[in-house]
C-alpha cells in the first residue's frame, strides 16, 4: 500500500498529460471533422469542387489507412529532416487531431447520409433557408445518429493517447513502465491498467447519459 502511494504522484502526473492530449484532440478534431464532412457530402460540379473533394478523400484515406504510430513518428522524427520541427507535445497534438478528424469526418458524412433528403425538401417547401434546415432539422438528427460511433472513437482515443510514448512524452503508460522497470514489480502496470479502466468507465457513463438525453424521439 505504501508503495502504491509512493508511485501514485508520478502516475497522476502521467494522467494529466494523457488527459491533456485527450481533451485538446477532441476539441480540435470534432469541429474539424464536422467541417471536413460537409466537403465530403455533395456531388460537386465544378473542377475546383471535384479537386477539393478528391483532396479530402485522399486525406481521409491516408490518415485512416496508415498506423497512428507511424503518423506520430513521421511528424516528430520525419518532418524535421525537411525543416519542419514540432516540440513533442505539439507533434502529438498535430498527429492526433489530423488522425481523429479523418475518422470523425467519415462518421459525420455517414450521419448526414442517413438523414432523408426529404427532410431538406420538406424544409424547402416550408420556405426555410438551407441554413435553417441544417440548424433546426438536419444537424440535430445527425448528432443523434453519430453519438454511438463518436463515443466509440472517444474511448479509443483515451487508449490511443498511450502511443505518445514513442516520441518520449511522459504519459500515464510511460510513468507506469518506468516505475515497473526501476522497482522490478508488475504493480505499476496493473495500476496503469486500473486507471485506464476508470477513465473509460467514466466516459462510458457519460456516453450513456448523453445518448439517453437524445432518446426522447426515434
Partner 1 sequence: MLELKNINKSFNGRPVLKNVTLTIEDGKTLAIVGPSGVGKTTLLRIISGLEQADSGTMIWNGKPTTAQAMRKQGIIGVVFQNFELFPNLSVMRNITLAPTLQGVDQQQADATAKKLLDQLALTDQEKAYPYSLSGGQKQRVAIARALALNPQILLYDEPTSALDPLLRENVAEMVNQFKASGMTQVVVTHDMDFAKSVADTTYHVGKGGDDQ
Q: Which residues bind partner 1 (CB under 8 A)?
A: 116, 118-119, 121-128, 132, 136-137, 140-141, 144, 216-218
Q: How many CB atoms lie within 10 A of CB 53?
A: 16
For residues 121-148, b (16+ Cβ closer than 10 Å) or e, as one string?
Answer: eebeeeebeeeebbeebbbebbebbbbe
Q: How far apart are CA 137 and CA 120, in angstroms?
A: 8
φ, ψ for residue 31 (rounded to 5)? -60, -40
Cell of 28: 480540435
Q: How far is the CB of 127 from partner 1 (least distance, A)?
A: 6
Q: Which of 54/124 has CB closer to partner 1?
A: 124
Minimum distance between the CB of residue 150 and partner 1, rounded to whole angstroms? 17
Rounded to whole angstroms, what are the CA distances from 64 to 102, 137, 163?
7, 30, 16
Find the shortest distance in angstroms from Cβ 119 to partner 1: 6
- When the beta carbons of 95 and 142 are compared against partner 1, the nearer one is 142
Shorter beta-carbon distance to partner 1: residue 116 or 183: 116
Nearer to partner 1, 74 or 136 (CB): 136
Q: How far is the CB of 144 from partner 1 (least distance, A)?
A: 7
Cβ closer to partner 1: 9 or 148? 148
- Residues written for the chain: 218
Report in angstroms how near the CB of residue 125 gets to partner 1 at its nearest: 4
Continuous segment of H or E residues that includes residue 152: helix 139-160
Amino acid at each position: 500500500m505504501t508503495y502504491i502511494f509512493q508511485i501514485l504522484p508520478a502516475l497522476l502526473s502521467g494522467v494529466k498529460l494523457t488527459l491533456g492530449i485527450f481533451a485538446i484532440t477532441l476539441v480540435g478534431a470534432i469541429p474539424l471533422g464536422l467541417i471536413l464532412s460537409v466537403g465530403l457530402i455533395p456531388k460537386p460540379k465544378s473542377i475546383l469542387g471535384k479537386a477539393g473533394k478528391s483532396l479530402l478523400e485522399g486525406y481521409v484515406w491516408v490518415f485512416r489507412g496508415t498506423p497512428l504510430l507511424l503518423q506520430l513518428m513521421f511528424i516528430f522524427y520525419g518532418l524535421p529532416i525537411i525543416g519542419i520541427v514540432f516540440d513533442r507535445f505539439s507533434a502529438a497534438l498535430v498527429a492526433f487531431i489530423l488522425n481523429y478528424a479523418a475518422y470523425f469526418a467519415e462518421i459525420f458524412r455517414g450521419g448526414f447520409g442517413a438523414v432523408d433528403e426529404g427532410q431538406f425538401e420538406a424544409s424547402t417547401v416550408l420556405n426555410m433557408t438551407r441554413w435553417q434546415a441544417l440548424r433546426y432539422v438536419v444537424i440535430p438528427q445527425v448528432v443523434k445518429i453519430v453519438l454511438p460511433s463518436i463515443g466509440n472513437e472517444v474511448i479509443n482515443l483515451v487508449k490511443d493517447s498511450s502511443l505518445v510514448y514513442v516520441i518520449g512524452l511522459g504519459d500515464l503508460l510511460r510513468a507506469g513502465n518506468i516505475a515497473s522497470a526501476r522497482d522490478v514489480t508488475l504493480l505499476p502496470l496493473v495500476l496503469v491498467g486500473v486507471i485506464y479502466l476508470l477513465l473509460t468507465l467514466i466516459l462510458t457513463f457519460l456516453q450513456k447519459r448523453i445518448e439517453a438525453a437524445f432518446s426522447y424521439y426515434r
